[in-house]
């Protein structure tokens, strides 16, 4: 435990990770014999959980701030000065570079790397590694500019559906009128 570390109520540091192997027809817990290193000036909110590593250490870098109800799985390495908002889930063996920001309810798949300075918007699901400096949103996570375009298109769908119905009715009316005129 580093200097000037704040850990709020009901948080658990060093719990056994969620690591199982299917052996003889059953899920068996894999031993988690590693530890947790919490560097200087880290703050961990209430009801957070930082699991110990299977081997080596789970590491929370200096100056990182972790909000309430966050899950940091086994063997995760978090860089310096990261911000991790409430209800984020960081799966096993993820690596976060310095200055990463994860907004509320972000989920990271296991064994991925989030490059330094990357910002991930609320409720995004990151399924693969991300280079430094990216801005992501949506689920699965995509570039935030593309996410804005996707949302804009989704919001237009009701109007487009009405327009399609109107045009379909117009085409049907024109075809019926053509059929009424007989062969041309």
pLDDT in tens, 58-112: 999 999 999 999 999 999 999 999 999 999 999 999 999 999 999 999 999 999 9
From 4, 27, 32, 74, the catalytic residue = 74
What confidence score (pLDDT) does residue 180 get?
Answer: 79
74 is catalytic: yes
Q: Give the H or E element holding residue 52.
A: none
Q: How confident is the model at residue 179 (pLDDT cuts 50, 70, 90)?
A: confident
The confidence score (pLDDT) of residue 85 equals 99
Q: Measuring CA to CA, how many Å separate 39 from each of 42, 70, 160?
A: 6, 18, 53
Is residue 25 exposed (0-12), middle (13-18) or buried (19+ Cβ within 10 Å)?
A: exposed
Distance CA 167, CA 123 (A): 37
Does pTM top 0.75 for this prediction? Answer: yes
Find out whether the peptide bond into 140 is cis, omega within 30 degrees of 0. yes
| Residue 167, phi-psi category: left (phi > 0), alpha (psi -120 to 50), beta (remainder) | alpha
């Amino acid at each position: 435990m580093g200097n000037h570390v704040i850990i709020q109520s009901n948080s658990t540091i060093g719990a056994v990770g969620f690591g199982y192997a299917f052996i003889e027809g059953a899920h068996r817990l894999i031993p988690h014999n590693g530890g947790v290193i919490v560097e200087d000036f880290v703050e961990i909110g209430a009801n957070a959980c930082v699991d110990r590593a299977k081997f080596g250490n789970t590491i929370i870098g200096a100056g990182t701030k972790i909000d309430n109800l966050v899950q940091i799985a086994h063997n995760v390495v978090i860089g310096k000065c990261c911000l991790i908002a409430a209800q984020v889930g960081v799966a096993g063996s993820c690596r976060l570079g310095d200055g990463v920001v994860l907004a509320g309810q972000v989920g990271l798949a296991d064994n991925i790397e989030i490059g330094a300075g990357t910002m991930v918007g609320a409720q995004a699901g990151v399924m693969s590694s991300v280079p430094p400096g990216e801005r992501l949103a949506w689920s699965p996570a995509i570039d935030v500019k593309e996410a804005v375009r996707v949302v804009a298109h989704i919001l237009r769908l009701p109007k487009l559906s009405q327009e399609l119905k109107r045009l379909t009715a117009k085409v049907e009316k024109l075809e019926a009128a053509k059929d009424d005129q007989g062969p041309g």
